[in-house]
Structure 1
């Protein structure tokens, strides 16, 4: 399928990068397909269900944030339908529920589809039964993961098993840490905290004012650090965060980020997770670029939609604190050491 970018905010380069990324994802859709081991007790969730769920999450959001006449919209909708068919239109989630009743990943993957309007009532009934047990409520999870499960419960029609606020304040970002402690694991944690709070960019007002102010100060240097260190995957996630905060994004910041991401993108539309130079691109086999390419498509859709909504005047920096917002913790400068690829679940 040929996918060309519409003339949406061309100064950012985001639409062009996003369209090329979606074209690559469409050309490689079969590599997201579930294999014969997807329901095996020894199957690798990280190479089967996880990529498929990420494809669904991103394509659902791109479809929402682009108009019907936009080629990105059509490609994303087509990929979302492909991913849903891979699950037997939801039937395989019920099988997963029987195999691993207290695993949370089936619900988290299912919620990506449910948030896009694709539902299976039989699975939701089974999941609600398990989610009502003491065992489910007592499952030990990282705070960031708990935020994701709580959000997944909401999308799946299941009453949340606990409040968001305590889980948020136990995350790295929720503690408003010294900004020089930012590194790759913290970076992936903070981006997903924002994704969960904003429902993947749908509700910017979900970010509390103190986090908004903190990110307004420190997100730009963190993003610059990742771009300078050629950590393209994390840079895309941070760019998506910049387009998800309550305050309008800084156009100059995003324009520069997308120019550098465009230079890192391969001619076929793929974006390597990390590395490479303009003269010597990083290798990008499917496993080494599928997530960063997804994140490029996701961040591009949020960027173009958000800038289109905010109009043409110069915007405030992302996350500019509202009057009365506490000032960020005064700390040492952000380190300039390059960020690297992830080490935590995404």
Structure 2
């Protein structure tokens, strides 16, 4: 832990504003017939669910942000589409979890019989019970079931933490735990920073240590997407990532990666879009990391918008759609 470096607040706010603007400019494509034709079905559905998750926190922390208008409209329109519930079930591996997320992330005013049917089917087939679930899937299901207001027989959050990979990594110093599973465990326990994660004493201290160590590792690897998740996880554990050496390094890494268009151009240094990438290829490479960074920095900065960026005034040719 330490004190904030000069200018880091401004860097974080600029990163937050620029990535949100990029999402705002590209959300229309995600909801368009062109995206339906050009993007694989399952990644397309997943991208729309991720957009709905971002809008949930965006509307709470920065409800007057003009960049929110487009994404919120896309999500609302998508949730009212009569064919969207069918698209959720295209891949049997994800069908039930996608249906639960669909019900949980429905924007205000869009609840329809389709949402109630989705929850009823999940309850009927036993998905909202602990059976045959890994600890992580059990926790994820509990989080979205609670958001959806669904009745369930799932374990409590303290029980779910105790069986999680994060708890095992903290207790046994697992060399390379799955970063996505560790960070999303923190997100679900804390509702992405909107509530106390419920960890106390040694559990909290050890969890902070695991996340800090993973942040340092992923910064060294240039893993932009994972660094954004880890910076947010620090915040969700009650640590100010702008005041930790690993968190500050992560924010600077993301700021350096930011394109002139406001995008994080890929999941990592080694997985970024090529300079001559087509707009569709660039979108597919950049979307997840940019949206994840937008979510992380929105929450870390509390939605502040004092930075007035120029990104978007002249978008990079490879990053527009």
TM interval, short-chain normalised: 0.7 to 0.9
Cα distance in 2 between the residues matched to 1:54 and 1:97? 13
Query: CA 1:44–1:194 in structure 2 vs 1: closer, same or farther (change >3 Å)?
Result: same
Q: Partner of 2:173 in structure 1? A: 179
Q: Which runs of 5+ in 2 are unaligned?
A: 1-6, 306-321
- Helix, strand or coil at the partner of 2:255: helix
| 1:202 Cα deviation from its structure 2 partner | 1.3
Structure 1 counterpart of 2:221, from 211, 225, 229 = 229
Aligned length: 285
Q: Partner of 2:293 in structure 1? A: 296
1:165-244 matches, cutoff 5 A: 165-175=158-168, 176-183=170-177, 186-203=178-195, 205-209=196-200, 210-244=202-236
Q: Partner of 2:312 in structure 1? A: none
Q: Relative to structure 2, which stretch is displaced further, 296-305 or 212-221?
A: 212-221
1:304-315 matches, cutoff 5 A: 304-305=301-302
| 1:27 Cα deviation from its structure 2 partner | 2.3
| 1:290 Cα deviation from its structure 2 partner | 0.5
Instruction: Provide the alpha-carbon RMSD of the alignment.
Output: 3.5
Q: Partner of 1:273 in structure 2? A: 267
- Helix, strand or coil at the partner of 1:158: coil
Structure 2 counterpart of 1:130, from 121, 125, 129 = 121
Cα distance in 2 between the residues matched to 1:273 and 1:218? 21
1:138-157 matches, cutoff 5 A: 140-157=132-149
Q: Partner of 1:20 in structure 2? A: 18
Instruction: Determine if contact 2:218/2:227 at 8 Å carries over to the other structure.
Output: yes
Structure 1 counterpart of 2:59, from 47, 51, 63 = 63
Cα distance in 1 between the residues matched to 2:216 and 2:198? 22
Cα distance in 2 between the residues matched to 1:58 and 1:268? 19
Q: Partner of 1:47 in structure 2? A: 43
Q: Deviations over 1:16-69 (max 9, x none)?
A: 11211122222222442265997xxxx95532210001011112212312363x
Instruction: Determine if contact 1:12/1:259 at 8 Å carries over to the other structure.
Output: no
Cα distance in 1 between the residues matched to 2:117 and 2:135? 25
- What TM-score do you get using the length of structure 2 for normalisation? 0.76
Q: Deviations over 1:290-337 (max 9, x none)?
A: 0100011111111112999xxxxxxxxxxxxxxxxxxxxxxxxxxxxx
Query: CA 1:90–1:156 in structure 2 vs 1: closer, same or farther (change >3 Å)?
Result: farther
Q: Partner of 2:316 in structure 1? A: none
Query: CA 1:170–1:90 in structure 2 vs 1: closer, same or farther (change >3 Å)?
Result: farther
Instruction: Determine if contact 2:166/2:182 at 8 Å carries over to the other structure.
Output: yes
Q: Which runs of 5+ in 1 are unaligned?
A: 1-8, 309-346
Structure with greater proportional helix content: 2
- Helix, strand or coil at the partner of 1:13: helix
